[in-house]
Chains A and B, each alone.
Chain A
Amino acid sequence: MDPQQLSETIAAAQAGEPAGFEALLEAFGPRLYGYFYKATGNHHEVEDLLGEISLRLVKQLRNYDHRDRFEPWLFRIAANMVRDRIRRRVSRPRTASLSASDDASGSLADGLSGNDESVDSRLLAAEAGEQLSSAMQTLDETTREMVLLRYFGALSFKELADRFHCPLGTVLAKVHRGLRALRKVMDDNAVD
């Protein structure tokens, strides 16, 4: 979605047109999904978070100022939601789920009934996603947020610097170190 089209879509949504909101969800939903998944490592939590942010979008879009870029505004909400979720998770121990694997891409029943894609490839994809999410959790909170906002939220380094109140060079240094750490974890897991 180019900037002009995005601006018109946001204006339509702010005017209360459902099509505007739906178009925004289609445009940013997949990236939000990726952001939430990499931040939490749990598909079920991601479903909740994606549903919650779609509701927040409906309620809070009127507060968005067209002079600002939309992605940082949207992903700031997403980042706050993730932070709240992680804090709740820390204060409340996780419980085992019998209906579905916490970290796999779906329930066991989903895996057995898959027709259009082999179970093996899905399991491999799920495993890779799980490894990356685990690796992401090894990063410190600021670095993880910078990496996710850079690659899913499409924030510029300048926007990241403003958001985290640190120099431009420091932002790139953290993102660089974060990427290297992720690659190392994934390479180690691939060797194993």
Chain B
Amino acid sequence: MPWTEQQYERVARYLDGEPLDLTNRELELAEEIRAGEAVVTAGIDPRARHRAMDKARRQMSAELARPTRRRAVLACFAAAEVIAVAAVLVIALTLQGIAPAPTPANSWADVPLEAIGLAESSEITEHISLVQQDIDLLEAELMAPITPMDPAGYEDDDLDSDLEELWYYLPAGGYLEG
């Protein structure tokens, strides 16, 4: 007698653990299905299985070790990056400490001309040349009396005139003691 869909379903639910009252025929089918495991699993060589399991264990161990290695490499890179950034910061701070502060008081070159009351550099040049002319004139006047006189052409009349002028400028009536 062929099995119906409903009978199959009852046996399936029974085998899944439902407490059903099966007929004897249905119970025989349930036992046949249970015994199927022995049929299906027959002929598996334990040595071949053992070998395959060993290989799988090795592959799994290698795979499990891989993330650890990856993490270690990443940690090294991260540490190196932190050290590099710290080194750059230290160098930058050191250089800042050595260099003079870029303030106007410490650097004449940085003082703008307007700040000291001179609008243009031509005015400075003009003032310098006027001062230089005054200095030259003063120097010439000071040097003139000590210029040695040329004895040639110094005549008796010139000598008399100079003596008379000297007499005239002498104090207390123009008399020399001596």
Chain A residues in the interface with B (C-beta under 8 A)? 16, 18, 21-22, 25, 29-30, 33-34, 37-38, 43, 46-47, 50-51, 53-55, 57-59, 105-106, 110, 114, 117, 122, 125-133, 147-148, 150-152, 156-158, 161, 167-173, 175-176, 179, 182-183, 186
Considering the chains assembled together, what is the distance between the CA atoms of A21 and B67 in angstroms?
Answer: 14
Considering the chains assembled together, what is the distance between the CA atoms of A156 and B39 in angstroms?
Answer: 18
The reply to whether B43 and A129 contact each other, CB–CB distance below 8 Å, is: yes
Q: Which of B3-48 contact A (CB under 8 A)?
A: 3-9, 11-13, 15-17, 29, 32-33, 36-37, 39-45, 47-48
A156-B15, A161-B12 known; 7 new pairs, CB 8 Å cut-off, are: A21-B60, A33-B52, A54-B57, A54-B59, A169-B6, A169-B12, A176-B3
Closest to B53 in A: A29
Closest to B49 in A: A33
Query: With a CB–CB cut-off of 8 A, which chain A residues contact B13?
Result: 157-158, 168
Specify which of B12, B42, B53, B61 is in contact with A157 (CB 8 Å cutoff): B12
The reply to whether A50 and B16 contact each other, CB–CB distance below 8 Å, is: no
Considering the chains assembled together, what is the distance between the CA atoms of A50 and B42 in angstroms?
Answer: 19
The reply to whether B63 and A55 contact each other, CB–CB distance below 8 Å, is: yes
Closest to A160 in B: B12
Query: With a CB–CB cut-off of 8 A, which chain A residues contact B32?
Result: 176, 179
- Chain B 106-137 interface mask (CB, 8 Å, partner A; 1/0): 00000000000000000000000000000000
- CB of B86 within 8 Å of the partner chain: no
Query: With a CB–CB cut-off of 8 A, which chain B residues contact A130?
Result: 43
The reply to whether B40 and A151 contact each other, CB–CB distance below 8 Å, is: yes
Considering the chains assembled together, what is the distance between the CA atoms of A129 and B48 in angstroms?
Answer: 11
With A58-B64, A175-B36 given, is the CB distance from A106 to B45 under 8 Å? yes
Q: How large is the interface on B (under 10, 10 to 19, 20 to 34, 35 or more residues)?
A: 35 or more
The reply to whether A106 and B60 contact each other, CB–CB distance below 8 Å, is: no
Interface of chain A, main secondary structure:
helix
The reply to whether A173 and B42 contact each other, CB–CB distance below 8 Å, is: no
Chain B residues in the interface with A (C-beta under 8 A)? 3-9, 11-13, 15-17, 29, 32-33, 36-37, 39-45, 47-49, 51-53, 55-57, 59-61, 63-64, 67
Considering the chains assembled together, what is the distance between the CA atoms of A169 and B8 in angstroms?
Answer: 5
Considering the chains assembled together, what is the distance between the CA atoms of A85 and B6 in angstroms?
Answer: 36
The reply to whether A55 and B12 contact each other, CB–CB distance below 8 Å, is: no
B57 to chain A, nearest CB (A): 6
Interface of chain B, main secondary structure:
helix
B34 to chain A, nearest CB (A): 10
Query: With a CB–CB cut-off of 8 A, which chain A residues contact B53?
Result: 25, 29-30, 33, 50
The reply to whether A34 and B44 contact each other, CB–CB distance below 8 Å, is: yes
B64 to chain A, nearest CB (A): 5
The reply to whether A132 and B60 contact each other, CB–CB distance below 8 Å, is: no
Query: With a CB–CB cut-off of 8 A, which chain B residues contact A54?
Result: 56-57, 59-60, 63
The reply to whether B5 and A169 contact each other, CB–CB distance below 8 Å, is: yes
With A126-B45, A157-B12 given, is the CB distance from A18 to B64 under 8 Å? yes
Considering the chains assembled together, what is the distance between the CA atoms of A46 and B9 in angstroms?
Answer: 34
* Interface-central residue, A169, A175, A179, A182, by most chain B CB under 10 Å: A169
